[in-house]
Amino acid sequence: MNYEVSIIPKHSPLPDILVNKIDSKTNKNITNKDFEFTMYEDEDCTKVIKTVKGNKKKGVAVFEEVTFGTYYIKETKAPKGYKLSDEVVKVVIDDSFATSDKQTKSIIYRNTPLKGGVQTGDTTNVTLFLCIAGGAILVLGFTAYKLKKVSH
């Protein structure tokens, strides 16, 4: 007797978890800034599984090919000019999530700009540099005057 057996995997490729970084005032993805998220085993966020850096062009962070289980995701580095969020998002990947195609679980993480707004441009204190330069010129002038007076 000959039998033909087909083996079909129960689960398709593992899903990704996509974290969208959203500015709470503009409701747009935060781009061109460094940020990162960490995935934990426990709700208290003490057992680290993986940390991923954000994609600066798209304003997202991606945990790729996550196995089935319960995870907790927390922001561990906020974009410059934004408040670090203490929100912990619980994500469950189980049989109800599995389909024939690879899926992406999407999370929205809102960030609040700091009170002074987002800092842009050069923050150098020009007045301080001008005062230092003026003081140096006065000291040099005084020293030159004393040396000229002593040599005559």
Q: Which residues of 107-132 are buried (b: 16+ CB within 10 A; e: fewer)?
A: eebebebeeeeeeeeeeeeeeeeeee
Q: Residue 123: pLDDT band by 50, 70, 90 thresholds? A: low
pLDDT of residue 152: 63
What mean pLDDT do residues 123-144 have? 81
Tokens, residue 78: 């906020």
Average pLDDT of span 13-37: 88
If one compares 148 and 44, the residue with the highest pLDDT of the two is 44
Q: How confident is the model at residue 121 (pLDDT cuts 50, 70, 90)?
A: very low
- pTM metric for this prediction: 0.64
- The residue with greater pLDDT, 21 or 115, is 21
- CB of 34 closer than 8 Å to CB of 56: yes
Higher pLDDT, 56 or 102: 56
End-to-end CA distance of the chain: 122
| 76 Cβ neighbours under 8 A, 6+ residues apart | 36, 37, 38, 51
